[in-house]
Structure 1
């Protein structure tokens, strides 16, 4: 159940949230770092 929730959350993230993989993490704003962290958190929980 938990894994299915996070897999759905990752798919939603890919559709809705901006992609930041081409940007340097040191130049991101605080809000963009939060988005990046949330996407990473959701991705790691979907693979457990």
Structure 2
């Protein structure tokens, strides 16, 4: 159940949230909001792969 929820959340993130890797964002120049978004996407991805 938990894994299915995170897989769904990952798909929603992929469609709705911006992809900073495609924009070639430099992490040193990223704002706090961008860093928080990267952390959120990383956490969701990690939990969907377990």
Q: TM-score range by the shorter chain?
A: over 0.9
Tell me, which stretches of 5 or more residues in structure 1 are unaligned?
Answer: none
Computed over aligned residues only, the root mean square deviation of the Cα atoms, in angstroms, reads 0.5
How high is the TM-score relative to the length of structure 1? Answer: 0.95
Matched residues, number: 48
TM-score normalised by the chain length of structure 2 = 0.91
List, as ranges, runs of 4+ consecutive aligned residues in structure 1 with deviation greater than 2 Å.
Answer: none
Structure 2 gaps, min length 5: none
